[in-house]
Amino acid sequence: MGMEKNVSKDFKLKPMKCELNFLSKSDGSTILSQGDTVAVVSVNGPLDIKSTSQSIEKSTLEVLYCTKGGKPSVADRYKENVIRQTCETAILGSLYPRTGITVTIQELEDYGGLLSCCLNCTCLALLNSGVSMRCVYAAVTCAVDESGDIVLEPPKHQLQTARAVMTFVYDSREKSLVTSFTEGMFSEDTYKEALARCHAASDLIFSFYRDIVSKYANVI
């Protein structure tokens, strides 16, 4: 099942395309494109794992981030950590003690906004897997350009010259900030404006999720 939706409205967000159950040998999987940036995520679990890795309180979450070029950099490992922290916030791990959940993210194309694309793709893959979640989340990336203007989901060439790049993740229930990842220099006022604009734009991504899940539910 595939779906495309232009989520621009009053914001210049990239068109999103998504297909669930993209991989046959996983409990949940999604391929998501945001513009020309593309990621694939698979979810497996809850599964039995070695006793040395088990937690009696919750599931053990493993997140693997695979780059297109092969060997991951320090920055890639940091992205992996951001995704892991976000997933741990969203997943109701206490329902699955002594088990393991593995999330594998594969970068296919990076034309800007890769982190937010990977985060959103991971959320859809978790939904597809049936893992219980306390909330759904949405990620939006913005940049502060050379003139100080805030640009939502900028292309890669604009990211390379930007003063700062920020990615914000919001939950669907409280609409509160779950995770933030920032690079560069910016003022407090610029940060607050970027936070507000990305918060408003996240509603469009949540709407995209609802359309995808409802259409998928009708198919099955």
Is residue 67 a contact partner of residue 10, using CB atoms and an 8 Å limit? no
Question: Over pLDDT 90: what percentage of the chain?
Answer: 77
pLDDT digits (tens, 9 = 90+) for 166-178: 999 999 999 999 9
Provide the pLDDT for residue 13.
86
Burial 192-201 (b: 16+ CB within 10 A, else e): eebbebbbeb
Provide the pLDDT for residue 8.
37
Beta strand 99-109 with 60-66: parallel, antiparallel or unpaired?
parallel
| Residue 218: pLDDT band with limits 50, 70, 90 | low
Question: Over pLDDT 70: what percentage of the chain?
Answer: 93
What's the whole-model pTM score?
A: 0.91
Is residue 156 a contact partner of residue 112, using CB atoms and an 8 Å limit? yes
Expressed as residue numbers, the domain containing 13 is 2-219
Q: How far apart are the C-alpha atoms of 41 and 30, rounded to whole Å?
A: 5
Count of positions (residues) in the chain = 220
Total domain count, the chain: 1
CATH number of the domain that 183 lies in?
3.30.230.70
Q: What is the mean pLDDT of residues 86-94?
A: 95
Provide the pLDDT for residue 9.
41
